[in-house]
Structure 1
Amino acid sequence: MPGNVLRTYSIAAALEDKLDIRLNRFEKSLIDMKNSLITPTAPLKAVTEV
């Protein structure tokens, strides 16, 4: 019985790690998307002013 509990905990820990990694990647890609949406406006303004 204690072995099963330990195994369950280690599986849960591994899943949490994977989830953390996925969330971090997701957050990073969201930030990247936001940045790519924000940055094009500056060059466009520069072009229209000239």
Structure 2
Amino acid sequence: MVETLLHAGQGHVNLLWILVPSYLTFMLGIGVGVYSDRLRELVTGREAEAAE
């Protein structure tokens, strides 16, 4: 049980190949969320209505 709790993946040989794409995908999601109004305007060609 203790071994299961202590194992957090540091023993993986290819841990870098797991972490880097995960981090990049997370940052891409944040960027899309931040600029979603601008992206919607770019795709649809109309201005987004301001939320009141």
State the TM-score, normalized to the length of structure 1: 0.49
Q: Which has the higher contact order (CA 8 A, sep 6+)?
A: 2
Greater per-residue helix proportion: 1
